[in-house]
């Protein structure tokens, strides 16, 4: 089996589309998010659905050709590791000056085309989210970059990571740290099933643009 073949789908994929697992000294299956733990590894498509399926169907034992113990909370373990990685990098980006906070500054960063992504706290009010979403749509219509937005963390976790209080809206800006945050947030979002509202919004914008071109 190819080292980068999902044990559930049997399809090859790039490392960023997969999560690596190894077997620990106690024969327990361990997620290797950074892909640097020693020993033979196996790969699973990087979302909760496939990891739960691998555990339920005893596919880890088959992949490792050994009796292994699969933690009952393996899916939660992976989610926690991805979350901590994303929040840790978010804090570093803040220190590097690549994060702005507050609805007004976030909207400005989006309209200026500086925002790589937007983060809303889970508790964010619809009114605040709507205003920033309008800015995102307007920026795309004007030929600017499409900026995805995520609701992945509660206010308390965002505030702790960013060293602030009552952090409800944040924008991650372009830069080395910002791009590292973007990669981790996308991985966490994909693991949790994606952001269908964002994908639908971008598809609608594309359809509107195509319709406008057809009328010209």
What are the extents of the domains in the chain? 15-72, 79-215
pTM for this model (two decimals): 0.87
Distance CA 83, CA 31 (A): 14
pLDDT in tens, 1-32: 446 999 999 999 999 999 999 999 999 999 99
Among candidate residues 96, 111, 90, 109, the one with its CA nearest the CA of residue 167? 90
pLDDT (0 to 100) of residue 2: 45
For residue 43, the SS3 value is strand
CATH number corresponding to 15-72: 3.30.1230.10
pLDDT (0 to 100) of residue 164: 87
Are 152 and 187 in contact, with CB atoms under 8 Å apart? no
Instruction: Identify the architecture of domain 79-215 in CATH.
Output: 2-Layer Sandwich (3.30)
């Amino acid at each position: 089996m190819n080292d980068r073949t999902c044990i559930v789908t049997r399809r090859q994929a790039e490392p960023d589309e997969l999560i690596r697992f190894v077997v620990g000294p106690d024969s327990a299956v361990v997620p290797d998010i950074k892909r640097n733990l020693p020993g033979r590894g196996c790969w699973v498509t990087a979302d909760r659905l496939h990891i739960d399926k691998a555990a339920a169907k005893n596919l880890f034992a088959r992949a490792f050709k050994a009796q292994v113990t699969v933690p009952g909370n393996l899916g939660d373990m992976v989610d926690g590791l991805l979350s901590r990685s994303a929040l840790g990098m978010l804090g570093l980006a803040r220190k590097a000056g690549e994060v702005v906070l507050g609805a007004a500054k976030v909207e400005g960063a989006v309209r200026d085309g500086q925002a790589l992504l937007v983060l809303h706290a889970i508790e964010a009010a619809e009114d605040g989210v709507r205003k920033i979403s309008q800015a995102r749509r307007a920026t795309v219509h004007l030929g600017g970059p499409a900026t995805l937005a995520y609701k992945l963390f509660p206010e308390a976790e965002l505030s702790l990571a960013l060293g602030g209080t009552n952090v409800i809206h944040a924008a991650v800006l372009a830069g080395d740290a910002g791009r590292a945050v973007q990669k981790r947030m996308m991985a966490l979002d994909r693991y949790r099933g994606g952001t269908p509202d964002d994908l639908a919004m971008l598809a609608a914008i594309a359809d509107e643009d195509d319709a406008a071109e057809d009328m010209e």
